[in-house]
Amino acid sequence: MDSALNTIKQAVRDIPDFPKPGILFKDITPILNNGAIFQDAVRCFVEVNKGLNINKIVGIDARGFLFGAAAAYALGIGFVPIRKKGKLPYTTRSVSYSLEYGEATVEIHEDAIAPGERVVLIDDLLATGGTAFAASRLINEVGGVLVETQFLIELEFLKGRSLIEPCAPVRSFIRF
């Protein structure tokens, strides 16, 4: 797995100053673009979740859907999308949180997780942790049990882990 992780890491493309000056964007589309590397990335999530006895995977809009839905399919369990405000058609619960500039709101369908169901939260990348923290609040609000949060990539210097760890364990596969 170590060489697979190295290959995944090398496939991540740095885009300076996207979407705004000063941000070094980690572009994961080269991972998606290569069948073997995409399979290895999804396999990371599948393997760790085999032993966790979970009922559902929750993915964060939008790149969390790519890995989360693929892993849920492989595990034969349900997938729950957490989306940006205004995208989910049925009755939702919402949580708003602060971004570097302004505010964002994320939503979940109120019936997407049955009370007591064990879920894992997946996103492509952990930066400041604000988004995953808001998502973990939504999971709690609908009665889900958040077993773990999982990220393909962790930007360690932003220390998002320290925001999430009081709520749930944090696992990442590659780190910058």
Alpha-carbon gap, residue 105 to 99, rounded angstroms = 10
CB 63 to ligand AMP: min, Å: 5
111 to 150, contacts with ligand AMP by CB under 6 A? Answer: 123-132
Kindly state the tokens that stand for 146: 């958040």
Cβ pair 133, 97 in contact under 8 A: yes
3-state SS assignment for residue 129: coil
User: Could you tell me which of 109, 104, 96 has the C-alpha nearest to residue 142?
Assistant: 109
Binding letters toward ligand AMP, positions 72-111, x by CB under 6 A: ----------------------------------------
Helix (H, G, I), strand (E, B) or coil at 164: helix
Chain residues 149-168 in contact with ligand AMP, contact rule CB under 6 A:
160
* Residue 40 binding ligand AMP, by CB under 6 A: no
Cβ closest to ligand AMP, residue 57 vs residue 125 = 125
- The residues carrying an active-site annotation are 63, 100
The DSSP bridge partners found for residue 81 are 59
Q: Which is nearer to ligand AMP, 2 or 20 (CB)?
A: 20
**In the bound complex, what is the minimum distance in angstroms from residue 116's beta carbon to ligand AMP?**
27
